[in-house]
Chains A and B, each alone.
Chain A
Amino acid sequence: MEGSSRRTFVAAAGVALSGFAGCIGRAGPGAGAQDDEETTPTTTASRPTQQGIPVADDRLPVEYDFEKLREEVLSGGPPKDGIPSIDEPKFRDAGKADDELRPEDVVFGLVRNGEVRAYPQRILVHHEIVNDVVGDEPVSVTYCPLTGTAMGFERGETTFGVSGKLVNNNLVMYDRETDSRWPQVLATAISGTFEGESLREFRLVWTTWDRWKAVHPETAVLSTDTGHVRNYDNDPYGSYVPNRSGYYVRDSPLFPPLGSDGRLPNKRVVMGSRTGSGRIAFDKSVLREEGLLSGEVGGTPHLAVYDSALDTGYVYRNPEGASFGREEGAQGQVVAGDGTSYDPANLPLDRVYAFDAMWFAWSGFYPSTELVGSASESPNADAGLVG
C-alpha cells in the first residue's frame, strides 16, 4: 500500500466507503543522518522568542514604508487558508519517492539539524507552506509559485498559514499566534503585533530530484499523503517539467508587480541576496554558464559560485577581492589563487543567504538591487578568474 503512496486499489464500494473513516495512513520519516550543515542562516540571532515566534535580531531590509506595502496587498482569490498548509507532514525514503517523482521534478532541498529533506514542488504548489519539525526544531518550509521563491523559516511555537493575500504577487503568510502578516520574500511582518520584526530564515536548495538524490541519497521526501486530497499531477500554473511552460514562462506576472525593472525579463530567475551592504542579484542562467560571477554592492565585492551538482549557486562576501577559478574538468570545484580546491558551498569566505526568485519579484521588492550577469554586464566568457 505504501509503495504506491496515496493510490489504493478500489476493491469494492464498501472498501471505498471505509475510506471515510480515516484511511491513507503512510510512512514515517526516512531521513538519515547528515553531518554537514548545508544551510547557513545569516539572520539568526540569540534574541528570545516573542509570543512563541523566534524573530531575527535585526530587521531585514525593506525598501518601502509598511503603509505603502499594506496598500499594495490584494486578494489572490482564495480565502484565508483556502490554500491549506500542510501541518502534519509525512515523509518517505528516496526509494519509495522514486515511484512518484520524475528525475527532473523540482524539489526544495533542506539539510538542517542533521536531517535531510526534500519538498517536491508539485506538492507545495498546492499548499505553499509546510509546518514541519526538523531535528526537533519547528520550521516552516514555504513556496510561492507566482514569484518562484522557496524559503525556510523558524516558526517557534506557532504555525504559519496562507492568508490568501498577495503583495508584489508574493505569498503573504500569517502566523496563527497573532495573525500578523508576513510577505514571504520580505520575511518581515508588515502588519499586526509583529510589524517591523523579521523572521529567522534559512536556505532551501531549489534543485531537481535526480540531483538532490545523487548528493543526498539518505534524504527523506515529503509524501503526497498530506491529509488533503489534491491532484498532485497537475500544476495549475503550468509546468517546470519537462520544460517550463504556462505562467512560468509568460512574461507578465499574474497581478501588477510593485515595480518594473527592464534589466531582465520578468520571469528570469536570479539568485538574490540582501546584505548589510545592499541588495545584489545574480542572473542564474549566466551564473550557470560562467561558473563564477563577481559584483559589488555598497562598496563590498561579492562572489557567486555555481554548484553543478545541485544546479544552484552560493553567494559570498569577498571584501578582500580574493581570486577564484573553476577547476578544469572537475564537477564544480573552485580553485583559490593558491591552488587550493574548494567545494562551491564551502569557500573560505563569509557566505550570505541567497535564494532563487523571479526577477520581477526580486526587483519589485528591492528596486535598489545591483544586478550581475545581465546581457550588458555579462563577463567575458573567456575569463577564468574573477575576483
Chain B
Amino acid sequence: MATENVSRGPISLTLSRTRFAIGAALGRRDGQAVFGGVTLAYLVAYLWFSDLLAFGGRNGGEFGFVVADDPLGRFFRPANSALSFEPVALVEFGVGTYLFSLNTFVGVAIALLVGLNLAVTYVAWRQPKACGIGSSSSGVLAGIPALLSGAACCGPIVLVIFGIQASSAVLTVFEWLIPAAVVLLVGSLLWVGRQVDPALA
C-alpha cells in the first residue's frame, strides 16, 4: 500500500496521486484493457475523423504501399490546417486506406491521454469511497474536445460534413482545438488522478 506525505502542497499532492493512479490503473489487467481498448479505438476514430483513415472506396480489396517523393523532406511540412502535416505514405489494406503523416503521432499522443484518462477514471470508479460518479465521468467528458480536435486536421471540411457556413472565428477555433484538447486532457487526468486515494488502493 502506498503512503503519501500529507504535508505536500496541492500541486505536489495532485501529481503524486495522479502518478500513483496511472501506475495503479496500468498495473491491473482490467485497467490495461480499458487503457489499450480506449487508446486504440480513439486513435482509429481520430484518424478517420481526420480523413487519414478511410474504409471502402472504389479500390476495395487491394493491398498496396505508396511513398511520396522526398518523404523525409515533407514529413514536417504543414498541410490542411494548423498542426496538420503532409502525408508521406499511403497504405491500402484491403478494406480501407491509411495515410501516414506526422498527424499519426499527434493522434497517438492524444489517444494515449484519452486512454490514460479513461483508465484512471476506471480506477476512480473502482474506489467508490473516494470518488463520486460525477467526478469519475470527467475522464469520459475530457475525450470529447480531444475527439473534436480530429476535426482540426481537416479544417473546414468538417463544416462541409455538417453543412455549416464557416467564418474566420470558426476557423480560429479549429486552429486551437488540438492544443485545447491536450490542455483539457492533462487537466482532466490530474483532476481524476487527484481523487484516487492511495490509502484505499
Contacts and interface: CB of A to CB of B under 8 A. Distances in A.
Most buried by B among A4, A229, A237: A229
A349 interface: no
A7 B92 contact: yes
Contacts of B64: 4, 6-10
Contact of B80 (A22, A78, A233): A78
What's the dominant secondary structure at chain A's contact region? Answer: loop
B30 interface: no
Given A229-B90, A229-B99, A255-B166, A7 B59 contact: yes
A135 interface: no
Contacts of B190: none
Interface string A207-231: 0000000000000000000011111
Contacts of A32: none
Contacts of A246: 160-161
Contact of A254 (B68, B72, B90, B159): B159
Contact of A247 (B57, B66, B154, B160): B160
Contacts, number: 116
A24 B81 contact: no
Interface stretch (B12-20, B108-116, B140-148, B167-175): B167-175
A234 B51 contact: yes
Interface of B: 51, 54, 57-59, 62-69, 71-72, 78-81, 84, 86-90, 92, 97, 99, 154-157, 159-161, 163, 165-168, 171, 174
Given A7-B64, A227-B68, 16 more contacts: A4-B64, A7-B92, A16-B65, A19-B89, A20-B67, A77-B81, A228-B68, A228-B69, A229-B66, A229-B90, A231-B51, A237-B157, A246-B161, A247-B160, A254-B159, A255-B156
19 contacts: A6-B64, A7-B64, A7-B66, A7-B92, A8-B64, A15-B65, A20-B67, A22-B67, A24-B67, A77-B80, A78-B78, A79-B78, A228-B68, A229-B90, A233-B97, A247-B160, A254-B160, A255-B156, A256-B165
